Amino acid sequence: MRDETPNSWEARAETNSFYGFTDLPSVHERGTVVLTHGEGPYVFDVHGGRYLDANSGLWNMVAGFDHPGMAAAAKAQYDKFPGYHAFFGRMSDQTVMLSEKLVEVSPFERGKVFYTNSGSEANDTMVKMLWFLGAAEGHTEKRKILTRKNGYHGVTVVSASMTGKPYNSVFGLPLDGFIHLTCPHYWREGQAGETEAEFTARLAKELEDTIAAEGAETIAGFFAEPVMGAGGVIPPSDGYFQAIAPILKKHGIPLIADEVICGFGRTGGVWGCETYDFMPDAIISSKNLTAGYFPMGAVILGPELSDRLQAASEAIEEFPHGFTASGHPVGSAIALKAIDLILNGDDDSGPLIENVRRMTPIFEQHMARLGEHPHIGEIRGKGLMGALEAVQDKATKTPWPGDLSVSERIANTCTDHGLICRPLGQSIVLCPPFIITESQMAEMFEKLERALTQVFDGLTA
């Protein structure tokens, strides 16, 4: 639905607001979807239109858009102590409790937490920690950061440099010393005749060779999402983390798991590193951490990095870093509630992670059905995150010509049917809220299938 009058919400949005990551000609043509509220996994626009949000907002609104327990936790903390910082040896009681909880539910036997307002800032913070450690420990040359092509780590200058996407070249990024390795996507990156095991071995060798060429003493860390999210929902090839983790360990290079999407249940395990059975040296968390009810990120350091950062900070007297709202008491109270809901549930719902596990096979069955479509080349995913990749020719994996904007057409057609899903490259990404029911899941796939049929029929007619 779109109101074309000059003073409409659509016109007002375009007049005074910039958009993030938005195809502007398409918004100009279709109009901004201006939203007012939500119910469960649905959001509503200013005209009363209802959309099932198959992307949980931006992966993060896992408890849905009107969870009473989440709102109550926020309100109670606003009433009690609406804001404070975590500088100069002060910190709210909520922040103390949240750090205890994060270390308790982390894969680490002990550790320490540093707070930010976003995932980007958490990645920047982690890089500054690694650089700080290098300087404090007498290895000032230890500054290079390894990530993978298609990896998404955020938009601040450092986290954008870590992000392996071509669009960052418009900013003159990446900065020097940010090195992007091959994306572990076997379907797209595997060579003719190469088995998945051989592909994984080739990527491990690339890592070895890169470390040898750059010099292990110059590399500060390796960052990886367990399942790539904004790269198009790309699970690692079989045995990937088991192949690379020992190489990093041998060269003393910390492995940082960017769990901003995977963390807190998205893949079915509490952490992506749990689902894929590897032990990182630190975890980056955001998005699900507050179920999207507050902007917050966290760096969770395992025992070794905690001890080293503690020693380095004591030697220099402080770790000179922090954001005004780091460890915000309301954010901390909200995160405590979100974690409790995800892991334990409350009077309104059972543990949300249990629902993720219950819904995953149903999600996979629907995906498999759509995967039979002649123009769906690959279906992939883990837990309640998945992608369907559109192709012009299934046998040769030939993509559609870029100027057809196939995934955008599919997503726009879905929006017309009351379903929000996200085009990413030539794929459609689905990551519904953890509260989704079986019938809402059926509705999601029914609407998506209708859109796929309409768009592909239109292209091949």
Ligand X SMILES: *Cc1c(COP(=O)(O)O)cnc(C)c1O
Measured distance CA(108)–CA(110) in Å, rounded: 5
Between 180 and 375, name the residue whose CB sits nearer to ligand X. 180
CB of 94 to ligand X, least distance (A): 20
Choosing from 45, 225, 274, 443, the residue that interacts with ligand X (CB under 6 A) is: 225
x/- mask, ligand X, residues 169-208, rule CB under 6 A, reads: ----------------------------------------
Minimum Å distance from CB 156 to ligand X? 7
Is 152 a binding residue for ligand X by CB under 6 A? The answer is yes
CB of 461 to ligand X, least distance (A): 37
Indicate whether 119 belongs to the interface with ligand X (CB under 6 A).
yes
Q: Are 281 and 248 in contact (CB under 8 A)?
A: no
- For the chain, the distance separating the N- and C-terminal CA atoms, rounded to the nearest angstrom, is 27
Per CB under 6 A, 260 contacts ligand X: yes
Please identify, using beta-carbon distances, which residue of 67 and 153 lies nearer to ligand X.
153
Estimate the crossing angle of helix 303-316 against helix 119-136, to 10 degrees.
Answer: 60
Q: Which of 153, 163, 155 is nearest to 123 (CA)?
A: 153
Beta strand pairing call for 50-53 and 419-420: parallel
- State the nearest-atom distance from the C-beta of 287 to ligand X, in Å: 6
Site for ligand X in 273-292 (CB under 6 A): 286-287
Q: Is 230 in the site for ligand X (CB under 6 A)?
A: yes
Distance CA 183, CA 235 (A): 10
Q: Which of 429, 368, 346, 416 lies closest to 59, judged by CA?
A: 429
* Minimum distance, C-beta of residue 108 to ligand X, in the bound complex (Å): 19
Among 69, 111, 154, 292, binds ligand X (CB under 6 A): 154
Is 384 one of the binding residues for ligand X (CB under 6 A)? no
| Interacting span for ligand X (CB under 6 A) from 78-86, 255-263, 373-381, 426-434 | 255-263
**Residue 153 within binding range of ligand X, rule CB under 6 A:** yes
Segment lying near ligand X (by CB under 6 A), choices 96-104, 257-265, 310-318, 362-370: 257-265
Binding ligand X by CB under 6 A: which of 258, 274, 281, 389? 258
Question: Which CB, 190 or 322, lies closer to ligand X?
Answer: 322
Among 120, 125, 200, 413, binds ligand X (CB under 6 A): 120
Window contacting ligand X (CB under 6 A); options: 100-108, 222-230, 244-252, 320-328: 222-230
Shortest distance, position 446 Cβ to ligand X, whole Å: 28
Return residues touching ligand X (CB under 6 A): 118-120, 123, 152-154, 225, 229-230, 258, 260-261, 286-287
